[in-house]
Structure 1
Amino acid sequence: MTKSTPTPVTTPPTTSGAVVRHDESCSRYTLLLGDQTVGLADYSVSGRNIHFTHTEVDPARRGNGLASILIEQALDDTRTRTDLTVVPDCPYVAHWIDRHAEYHDLLTRGR
């Protein structure tokens, strides 16, 4: 991902009211409900790969599908804005991609 995009990418609110924001300067996607940050997905870029390294949702908000929304939006943004290969170092991201065949191509593109 290039650092040329000065403004964070923000997705439209989902049906749950969640909004995902990409903060490229921090290498992080954040999940917001209203004005409260309730989740994050950290990544790093190395060569032609984007490594998703950590996913976290506020313990009080777990079990509502918010982590799934966060990862889906982060992967959609990665697909749209880059041609990087996704490396799911985070166990949650790896499991999520395993369960969603339509995202398997992100694991091999660019190779």
Structure 2
Amino acid sequence: MPTRPGIIIPAVPFASWADKGRALVVMGGLCLKKSPRVKTTPSASGRRNVAGMTTESAIKGFVFSDEKDASRYTLMHDGDLVSVLDYRDDGRTVALTRAFTVPTFRGRGYAAEVVARAVAALEERGDRRVLPVCWYVADWFAEHPEHASLLRTR
């Protein structure tokens, strides 16, 4: 791709399409030109910022995010993605479909942490029931019967 002299285009590898979308959002906030691929809104200062795509909380050095555009909860530590919990939300029920921990971070309880934080967020929200599709999430609920009231009854 030809560029003007002095312009450097960084090559960034993406772990998934959702990560590519997140990078577009971050880079879109830096761009002055509007793009239909980047979801941004103007801020009071005139600069563009990202709006309503993720909800984050940082506890114990970890950043837990609800990436609504990618339908997943993520757990990051020191800028590294360590665990993901995919979901499908139909407006009444949230189906927790897949818990995944990056292989280099396995065995440290990160999957349990992302599930616990997702369940806490859903309990706080109070308007959804949970359907544990993933075997790991079903086992987590079996080990934590105090959260059984959140499960969808058939």
TM-score (norm 2): 0.62
Q: What are the ranges of 5 or more consecutive residues in structure 2 without an aligned counterpart?
A: 1-50
1:76 is matched by which residue type in structure 2?
A
| RMSD, aligned α-carbons | 1.8
Given the alignment of the two structures, is residue 36 of structure 1 paired with residue 83 of structure 2, yes or no?
no
Q: 3-state DSSP class of the match of 1:40?
A: strand
Would you say the 8 A contact 2:74–2:85 is kept in 1?
yes
Identity, % of aligned pairs?
32
Tell me the distance in 2 between the aligned counterparts of 1:76 and 1:62: 22
Distance, in Å, in 1 between the alignment partners of 2:83 and 2:109 is 11
C-alpha displacement of 1:45 = 1.3
Structure 1: 5+ residue runs without aligned partners? none
Q: Does 1:13 align with 2:13?
A: no
Q: Is structure 2 residue 102 aligned with structure 1 residue 58?
A: yes
Q: Where does structure 1 differ by over 4 angstroms across 4 or more consecutive aligned residues?
A: none
2:100 is the counterpart of 1:100: no
Q: Please state whether the residue corresponding to 1:11 is helix, strand or coil.
A: strand
The one-letter code of the counterpart of 1:66 is Y
Q: 2:138 is matched by which residue type in structure 1?
A: A
Greater C-alpha Rg: 2
Helix, strand or coil at the partner of 1:25 = coil
CA shift, 1:18, in A, is 2.1
TM-score of the superposition, structure 1-length normalised?
0.84
Q: Which has the higher contact order (CA 8 A, sep 6+)?
A: 1
The aligned counterpart of 1:48 is 92
For 1:81, give the aligned amino acid. R
